[in-house]
Amino acid sequence: MLFMNIIHCDYDLGVFSILGLPVGKAKNMRHLSRQPLAVAPPETPELTLPLTLLFAFAVGVIIINLTAAQPLAGPVARSLHIPPTWTGLVAMLPQLGYAVGMLFLVPLADLFENRRLTVATLVACALALGLAAVAPQAGWLLLAVGVAGATSCAIQILVPLAAAMARPDERGSAVGNVMSGVMLGILLSRPFASLVEGAWGWRACYGVLGAADALLALMLWFALPVRRPSAHVSYRALIASLGALWRSEVVLRRYAISAAIVMAAFSAFWTGIALRLVQAPFALDSRSLAWFALAGVAGTVVAPLAGKAGDRGYGVMGMPVAHVVVSLGVALAGVAGAGWFGLDISRHAHLALALLVVAAIVIDAGAIGDQTLGRRAVNMLDPAARSRLNGLFVGVFFIGGGAGAVAAGSAWAIAGWSGVCVLCLAFCALAFAGDLYACRRPVAVA
């Protein structure tokens, strides 16, 4: 109800009484898209090491709400009798909700006091996860995980807050340290969910996540500083400026669409692999699935390498390379999981499982490389609009991830693991088509 009340306020003449910030009317959308949203420096204390660790811990906990659903899709579907075609919704709706939150809730950080807004979103997230833990029917669960995904956008309120608190010459390092918590949370989310589900069931997993978010909200209420933005624009004008940015920034569109396509392949793989590994000849239990999911950790070594490649001017060349890597990983997954090119999986189950581990590492490496290069390019654009540019990039990125997850459910129902791999290759083909289009119409990237 908090966000519904905010959205239904009078945008142009009213006062957002909930959080206590007067709002005026913006007159020029294109001008607003380039207009810096200043923050009063005296109200923002310096970012200390303990606060940096708290920020990293917080975003790492919150991101688990989005990615833990992938290994839970199968158990949830069996328990609540969700048809195979719709199983992917369990993993898709949190990511789609996150994209909605990025586009419509995160801009509120430029209007309202950040600590209160962060805590409010986390409390709403904890309540939604609590509902998911006790949901009696599929409809209630899907609604709950969608709301939890939307309110998990608190991550993108915390990261700019950390950047604002850091000294200008340490800002990049501060953001990198905080974002490391996101990567760690993503990598640990699948094994965490698999272990908890195996020990106590999928409902316990949502319950633990809800309790963690509630505790985190309490910690942040006492630890975060008060930060009141000094922007005097309406919520309607702020949201409208996103459209102007999307239309005017060619680099943003190119890298955001590429990231969305690759994320679709990534999500389809991880949604489908949880269904494949419980079948013969692998027949893995929840604990074994957790160990398999940890394989993705090895793919993170690509992130600093991709960042350095972008800094040295190889970003445009690096994108097709990342897409080739993802394609090779998917092809290997088809060989190991579906017996492509004549591999007898039943006779060589251990070899097939080892190849699937390698495939997971390769796919993760390619996806991380694509995302790292894209984030770097977007962050080199207009500094005055950086938060909104990142919001658009991440929002589009997670829409792709959600689409890939739900498409994987349909592909699995139609053709099993082979169908999922063919779907991933189709996404890779779309990414290559984008590379060809970019070569014909190059854009300048710093």
Reference 414, options 272, 293, 309; nearest CA is 272
Residue 39: per-residue pLDDT: 40
Q: What does the pLDDT read at residue 55? A: 92
What does the pLDDT read at residue 174?
65
User: What per-residue confidence (pLDDT) applies to 145?
Assistant: 96
Q: What's this model's pTM, rounded to 2 decimal places?
A: 0.72
Q: Give the count of alpha carbons within 13 A of 200, CB side only.
A: 10
- Cβ contact 344:398 at 8 Å: no
Domain ranges in the chain? Answer: 48-224, 242-446
* 292-301 confidence digits (pLDDT tens): 877 776 776 6
Does CATH number 1.20.1250.20 belong to domain 48-224?
Answer: yes
The single residue listed with the structure tokens 């995904």 is 149
**Phi and psi (nearest 5°) for 25?**
-105, 130
pLDDT on residue 185? 86
Q: What are phi and psi of 235, to 5 degrees?
A: -60, -40
Low-confidence ranges of the chain (pLDDT < 50): 1-42
* CB 391, CB 107: distance < 8 Å: yes
Fold of 242-446: Growth Hormone; Chain: A; (1.20.1250)
**CATH topology match: 48-224 vs 242-446:** yes
Residue 22, phi then psi, degrees to nearest 5:
-70, 145
Neighbours of 83 (CB within 10 A): 10
pLDDT computed for residue 10 by the predictor: 35
Tell me how far CA of residue 370 lies from CA of 69, 85, 364, 398, 444, in angstroms: 23, 29, 10, 14, 18
**Which DSSP string do the residues of 120-185 spell out, in sequence order?**
HHHHHHHHHHHHHHH-SSHHHHHHHHHHHHHHGGGHHHHHHHHHHHS-GGGHHHHHHHHHHHHHHH
Beta-strand runs (E) in 49-167? none
